[in-house]
Amino acid sequence: MKFGVVVFPGSNCDRDIAYVTQELLQQPTRLVWHEETDLQDLDVVIIPGGFSYGDYLRCGALARFSPVMQAVVDHAAAGKKVFGVCNGFQVLTESGLLPGALVRNRDLHFVCDRPQLTVERTDLSWTQNYQTGEVITLPIAHGEGCYYADPQTLASLEANHQVLFRYHGENPNGSLNAIAGICNPEGNVLGMMPHPERAADPVLGLTDGIRLFKGLLD
Amino acid sequence: MTLEYLEYTAQIYVTLRPSVLDPAGVAVQSGIKHLGYENIEQVRIGKYIQLNLKAANEEEANQQLHQVCDRLLANPVIENYRFELTLQTILQEVML
């Protein structure tokens, strides 16, 4: 399984993800500069967290128009996997690969925490190593992580079981329906605000995230 | 041959759609209240963008601006926009 991690000016979780796929999982991995346009050698494209283009205008808005994003859209259209974490999730909603938008946290604070999440669905490779309804802990660190969608979009997300992760207990950012991560209807594009790559190496104290990456290898 | 262009200044206002909560607006409203103004409410914070553009006529300028706003300056999922166009100058370019 070959992984590519997109690097925009301002990305800052790219190496954390590459460390997980390359060092912990021993999978071929390369960093993909935002000006690249050929991703055909990759199986999984990951858009990491950070502050692409300084979060200017809106989080993810300018990254959407970088050369690599058309290739990411084509990669997703071919049914291959695309995974956006944190700022990567924002880029995927701005690109229209996932519905809705991520807006300023309800309480205005930048939240840096370790919330609990419920795994809502486990029939996709992303979550196949979890139990349905299992409560896991993953770190979050964001100022604009409040998931918003109009009532119709929200209803269709729920009806199609596109919510993979939901905050359990306290909702840290005011996300509608406590949404922490969603996929597209086909299930090959996933976006989430929590950082599974920061919960992969036991030395960091949390390990619930590694199972997500391991699920992609089967 | 002489080509004539019109140069416009556009003043663009991007605002959160009414259905989207604006926590920054709520915080500012609370600040205003602390100043002693009890009669101010419904504070909403948006963005102001100004740019110049050249176009053959006002219709073309309008059309282009709508495209730029729809595609980049505003996110239609959460934001509305409106703009005002002001004619600045008429430019003439001599084509050789």
DSSP string, B47-93: EEEEEEEEESSHHHHHHHHHHHIIIIIS-TTTEEEEEEEEEEEEEEE
Phi, psi of B42 (to 5 degrees): 55, 45
Check if A105 contacts B (Cβ < 8 Å). yes
B68-88 pLDDT per residue, tens: 999 999 999 999 999 999 998
How does pLDDT run across A64-123, given as a tens digit for each residue? 999 999 999 999 999 999 999 999 999 999 999 999 999 999 998 999 999 999 999 999
- Do the beta carbons of residue A37 and residue A11 sit within 8 Å? no
Judged by CB atoms closer than 8 Å, whether chains meet at B23 and A108 is answered as yes
Rounded Cα–Cα distance for residues A86 and A180 (Å): 10
The C-alpha torsion from B18 through B24 and B30 to B32, rounded to 10°, is: -90
Instruction: Determine the residue of chain A that is closest to B49 in CA distance.
Output: A57
- CB proximity A150 to B under 8 Å: yes
pLDDT exceeds 90 at position A215: yes
Nearest to A189 by CA among A103, A113, A96: A96
Residues 6+ apart with CB under 8 A from A187: A124, A126
- The closest alpha carbon to A85, from A194, A209, A216, belongs to A194
CA distance B11 to B63: 15
Mean pLDDT computed over every residue of chain A: 97
Residue with tokens 């969608």: A149
- ipTM score of the complex? 0.83
> Degrees (nearest 5) of the Cα angle B80, B78, A17?
140
Residue A111 C-alpha, separation from nearest chain B C-alpha, in angstroms: 15
CATH match for A3-215 among 2.40.30.10, 3.90.25.10, 3.40.50.880, 3.90.1170.50: 3.40.50.880
Give the tens place of pLDDT for each residue, B9-30. 999 999 999 999 899 999 999 9
- Report the residue count for chain B: 96
Taking CA atoms, A191 is separated from A83, A182, B7, B33, in Å, by: 6, 6, 42, 39
Q: Tell if the CB–CB gap between B23 and A107 is shorter than 8 Å.
A: yes
Confidence check: pLDDT of B1 > 80: no
**For residue A59, pLDDT beyond 90:** yes
Interchain CB contact of B73 with A (< 8 Å)? yes
Q: Which of A65, A108, A148 sits opposite B20 (nearest CB)?
A: A148
| Residue from A115, A8, A15 nearest A63 by CA | A8
| pLDDT number for residue B96 | 61
The residues of A annotated as belonging to the active site are 86, 195, 197
Q: How confident is the model at residue B65 (pLDDT cuts 50, 70, 90)?
A: very high
| Per-residue pLDDT, A41 | 97
- Tokens 């963005």 — which residue? B47
Within 13 Å, how many C-alpha atoms sit on residue A26's CB side?
0
Question: Which residues in chain B are contacts of A150 at CB distance < 8 A?
Answer: 19, 77
| pLDDT confidence of residue A185 | 97
Token pair of A34, please?
């935002």
Q: In this structure, are strands A44-47 and A3-7 parallel, antiparallel, or unpaired?
A: parallel
pLDDT at res. B95: 66
The token duo for B94 is: 């001599």
**Can you list the domains of chain B with their CATH numbers?**
2-19+48-94 (3.30.1280.10)
State pTM to two decimals.
0.92
CA dist., res. A15 & res. A21, Å (int): 10
